[in-house]
Amino acid sequence: MEQEVVPQLNQNKNNLLKTVIPSVLATAVIVGLGVYLWQKSTNEKVVQTLEQKISALEQQVSIKDNTEPANNLPPSSTPKEISDEYVQPKSIVIDEGCLKSQYTEGTGQKISVTCNQVGEVALSSSVEAVLESKHQEKILTGTDYEFDVYLEFYENNIKLNVPPHYFPSFVDANAGWFGLNISYLDKNNIYISDSGGHEGYPSHYFFNGTSWAKFSPWDLVKNVLPDTIQPPFSILISQKYIKITEERYCCDQVYSDTPDRKANRMVFVLERVSKKIIETSKIPR
């Protein structure tokens, strides 16, 4: 009887092992797979976070590189609005046929104006500028050779309320030295550049709707011009921008004796109202 019980126990033990071992193995596989998947997900999140941080840093570096001026100059990126908005200046000169000159020994040179105005130019289809003489007749002497001229502005033949600003006419020497370039935005924003006379620098003026004032390109760009020598400038005007171009000069070397300055001139674009420099570039000298 005892011999029959022992085989029965062994058989039950074998059956239990056959049931438990696969269950343990299956559980271990499931738990291991779960741990693996959890660890993989965690790692992927860490990697993704690091990649985002790296991308953000790269963008910051790229922005800094694109906006940081080189050699203390403003950035050279150009807003799209800059192009093709500048008013082309209109030139006005003295009609020398309207002047009569007579020299009398011991008296001086007598200048007489024979026209209603000594010059005119159309600024637009409705706006005109006329050049008037301060004097209709005057005898010029060695101590008094002033014979100034000034501008009047008309819109649809109605005179605008622009006070006169007097310019030297050079009629005592050569009226051909006289010339004005007018950039007319509207009746409250008028820019004028003169010719500089005989081998002189051009001067620039601005009317703000109330009064005239000197406009100095040098004061606006001297802190960023790669030179300490003041050159002559020309200006172009739009509603939004002012373009200041360094010009050649006939007689003096107005730039430092370096390869870059000898080869190139500077061009600056500024916001017209704030006078902030927003672009710099170079053009061949």
208 and 254 co-located in one domain: yes
Number of domains in the chain: 3
DSSP 8-state class, residue 239 = S
Token output for 7: 């085989």
> At which of 178, 193, 211 does a domain end?
178
> At which of 157, 178, 199 does a domain end?
178
Which residues have a Cβ under 8 Å from the Cβ of 3 and sit 6 or more positions away? Answer: none
133 and 188 co-located in one domain: no
Which residues have a Cβ under 8 Å from the Cβ of 81 and sit 6 or more positions away? Answer: 240, 241
106 and 171 co-located in one domain: yes
80 and 188 co-located in one domain: yes
Containing structural domain, residue 22: 1-49
Q: Angle CA(114)–CA(198)–CA(256) in degrees, nearest 5?
A: 155
278 and 79 Cβ atoms separated by less than 8 Å: yes
Measured between its terminal Cα atoms, the distance across the chain in Å is 123
236 and 280 co-located in one domain: yes
- Per-residue pLDDT, 57: 53
CA of residue 93 relative to chain centroid, distance = 30
Residue numbers of the chain with a pLDDT score lower than 50: 1-3, 5-6, 9, 61-72, 77-81
pLDDT per position as a tens digit, 100-143: 999 888 888 999 999 999 999 999 999 999 999 999 999 998 88
- Per-residue pLDDT, 83: 53
- Per-residue pLDDT, 75: 52
- Per-residue pLDDT, 198: 86
- Per-residue pLDDT, 203: 96
131 and 37 co-located in one domain: no
Nearest to residue 239, comparing CAs of 128, 129, 82? 82
Nearest to residue 95, comparing CAs of 171, 20, 8, 185? 171
Which residues have a Cβ under 8 Å from the Cβ of 85 and sit 6 or more positions away? Answer: 238, 239, 240, 241
- Per-residue pLDDT, 17: 52
Token output for 66: 């694109």
225 and 260 co-located in one domain: yes
8 and 116 co-located in one domain: no
- How far apart, in whole angstroms, are the C-alpha atoms of residue 113 and residue 106? 22
User: Which residue matches tokens 């190139």?
Assistant: 264
Domain contains 60: no
- Per-residue pLDDT, 80: 44
Token output for 86: 């500048």
233 and 260 co-located in one domain: yes
Rounded alpha-carbon distances, angstroms, from residue 53 to 39, 41, 46, 58, 59: 21, 19, 11, 9, 10
- Per-residue pLDDT, 77: 46
Look up residue 147 and give its amino acid: F
DSSP 8-state class, residue 240 = S
State pTM to two decimals.
0.70
- One-character DSSP codes across 134-198: S-SEEEE-SS-----EEEEEEETTEE-------B---TTT-GGG--EEEEEEETTEEEEEE--SS
| Residue 32: HSE in the Cβ half-sphere, 13 Å Cα cutoff | 6
- Per-residue pLDDT, 22: 63
Domain contains 63: no
266 and 226 Cβ atoms separated by less than 8 Å: yes
